Amino acid sequence: MKKKNKILIAIIYSCAIFIVIGFCLYFFNLKNKNKFLPNTNVEEKHEPNVDNSTKEDYYLTLGMIGDALYHTGCYNDGRNSDGTYNFDKHLADIAPIVKTYDLAYYNQETVLGGVELGLSSYPTFNSPKEVGDAFVKAGFNLVSLANNHTLDKGPKAILNSVSYWRSQQNVLTAGSYDSIDDKARSHIGEKNGITYAFLAYTYGTNGIPIPKGKEYLVNLFDKEQVRRDIETVRNKVDVVLVSMHWGVEYTHTPTKEQREQAEFLSDLGVDVIIGSHPHVIQPIEHIGKTVVIYSLGNFISGQDTLARRIGMIASVDIHKSIENDNTTINIDNVKGDLLYTERTIGYRNFRVIPFYQLDNRILPNYANIKTQYEAIINQNDATVQVGTLPLTISAS
């Protein structure tokens, strides 16, 4: 019996050993087999980051010069032997610069009533329409008609002027009209995908009263009217430009009233204020985001003193960016460069020359004069760039 029990126990131990060995061999083979099986784990896939944002950029350049103040000497210099007029030569040195700008502004100080009303000079001006022809040909397409001389020759001259400007293609004028309907017309333009509004006002008309019921003949600066005008266009355009005939003649310093009006316009959302009337240059500065050019000075005139023969050509770059339906407007690269009205004895051979083309033969001591007048331009704002015009032209 004991022998049988020993045999049974041996058999059980043997079976147990075989079972253990069998399990070990099974798991060993399974492990090795899995080494060579393809990895069936599915790796999580990630969609690539897709930028659904959109961005569009638009650019516009604006150049500005001051007063076209045509005196008798200017008229005589542009008179041909057959009695007709041509003033192209007055702008020959400036036209290549003007044509580099998308928008080019000037103040037509003397009303274009035409030769049929008789040409006249100070104190009540009337100019031939050929003055306008020269400026349009040179590339100007924004023209202010609101100044203290607008009413010099009465309503008839204004009607002639408005009729002339209406006949010009791609030129936007502001500040003087021939009817209520004309004054109510759109003052909005578009260029390079950027919309702009252009308005113009004057402090007065040299004491000449505006005929009752014809207040549309010239825009006098009135805060409530200006507020309504700007609020009408502000949300319809990207940029608002306002021409202001203001200040005190022959002073390089803006008045308290100019500064107050500039702040008023800035608060209304005006982007660029373009000043004229002092007949000499005044500083450029920023009020908030508003660029304020207090006075561009004379562009061309028959006036004598040096300060009245030095004008300014100012410019800004306008950048419109649209990203995810959000629009931003930046106005930068604010520049001011100097111009000089040259003429020979007897008020002949008028021409406006940029300072970088001058030499001591044309204007003695011109380099020191340049330094002096550039200091006026940026005396209130060091960010205003001066003396850059030759770089701009060479790059165009």
pLDDT means over runs of 10, the chain (396 residues): 51 54 49 46 54 85 98 97 97 97 98 97 97 98 98 98 97 98 97 98 97 97 98 97 98 98 98 98 98 98 97 98 94 98 96 97 97 97 93 63
Surface-to-core class of residue 287, CB atoms within 10 Å of its CB (0-12 exposed, 13-18 middle, 19+ buried): middle
Which tokens belong to 99? Answer: 């044509």
Phi, psi for residue 196 in degrees, rounded to 5: -145, 150
Identify whether the C-beta of residue 119 lies closer than 8 Å to the C-beta of residue 128.
yes
Residue 1 confidence (pLDDT): 46
The answer to whether residue 195 is domain-embedded is yes
The answer to whether residue 361 is domain-embedded is yes
Residue 69 sits in which domain range?
57-395
**CA gap 202, 175 in Å, rounded:** 8
The CATH number of the domain where 320 resides is what? 3.60.21.10
Residue 48 confidence (pLDDT): 60
The answer to whether residue 15 is domain-embedded is no
Which tokens belong to 41? Answer: 């784990």
What is the tally of structural domains in the chain? 1
Task: Locate the DSSP E strands across 252-378.
Answer: 272-276, 284-287, 290-293, 298-301, 310-323, 326-344, 348-354
The answer to whether residue 34 is domain-embedded is no
The answer to whether residue 141 is domain-embedded is yes
The answer to whether residue 9 is domain-embedded is no
Residue 357 confidence (pLDDT): 96
The answer to whether residue 28 is domain-embedded is no
The answer to whether residue 13 is domain-embedded is no
Contacts of 128 (CB under 8 A, 6+ apart): 75, 78, 85, 112, 114, 115, 119
Residue 54 confidence (pLDDT): 84
- The model's pTM is 0.86
